[in-house]
């Protein structure tokens, strides 16, 4: 049984839930707990024990689900579409040398950082440094 098939049964008033095996009731515990935590964080946190029986936790959530006539809207959360702001900035050689010297880094460290997720913040930092150096007429 897939996750959202189980969610429909969990929030329905039919006796279909009672017909499910213990394994089927506990199979999607993690995701059900995440869904319930959106609306009822305290209750979800109280039921978040290591070693607890997943089927019984979902049975507890079934008690919460019985108050709804259908699956609540807050179960279906949207995922944000994050647009990555790419910085197309190539620092001057003198700025890069200054940056590496002040941070006690090598060109190899810089090339590794370009591949990392922190690339955007580092390039913005270097860009601001370059503006400051240009404003103050720093030449190397």
| Residues 61 and 15 grouped into a single domain | yes
Could you read off the pLDDT of 42-91 as tens digits, one per residue? 888 888 877 788 888 888 888 878 888 888 888 887 766 655 556 678 88
The Cα-based distances of 133 to 2, 113, 128, 129 in angstroms read 58, 22, 9, 6
Residues 13 and 60 in one domain: yes
Tell me if 128 is assigned to some domain: yes
Mark whether 62 and 112 lie in a shared domain: no
Claim to verify: residue 64 and residue 98 sit in the same structural domain: no
Report if residue 101 sits inside a domain.
yes
DSSP 21: -
Report if residue 66 sits inside a domain: yes
Q: Is-contact 64 40, C-beta < 8 A?
A: yes
Query: Are 71 and 97 contained in the same domain?
Result: no
Residue 83: inside a domain, yes or no?
A: no
Tokens of 113: 């950082």
In terms of residue numbers, what domain contains 100? 93-135
Q: Highest mean pLDDT: which of 34-38, 97-101, 112-116, 133-137?
A: 97-101
User: Cα separations (Å) of 125 from 5, 86, 118, 135?
Assistant: 48, 14, 11, 15
Same domain, 9 and 65: yes
Write down the mean pLDDT value for the chain.
Answer: 84
What is the total count of domains within the chain? 2
Q: Which long-range contacts (CB under 8 A, 24 or more apart) does 60-66 make?
A: 61/10, 61/32, 61/33, 61/36, 62/10, 62/17, 64/36, 64/40, 65/10, 65/11, 66/13
């Amino acid at each position: 049984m897939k996750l959202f098939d189980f969610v429909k049964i969990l929030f329905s008033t039919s006796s279909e839930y009672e017909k499910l095996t213990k394994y089927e009731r506990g199979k999607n515990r993690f995701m059900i707990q995440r869904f319930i935590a959106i609306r009822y964080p305290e209750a979800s946190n109280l039921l978040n024990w290591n070693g607890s029986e997943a089927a019984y936790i979902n049975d507890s959530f079934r008690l919460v689900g019985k108050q709804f006539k259908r699956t609540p809207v807050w179960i279906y959360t949207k995922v944000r579409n994050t647009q990555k702001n790419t910085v197309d900035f190539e620092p001057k050689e003198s700025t890069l040398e200054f940056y590496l010297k002040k941070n006690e880094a090598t060109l190899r460290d810089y090339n590794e950082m370009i591949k990392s997720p922190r690339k955007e913040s580092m390039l913005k930092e270097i860009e601001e440094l370059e503006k400051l150096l240009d404003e103050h007429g720093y030449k190397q």
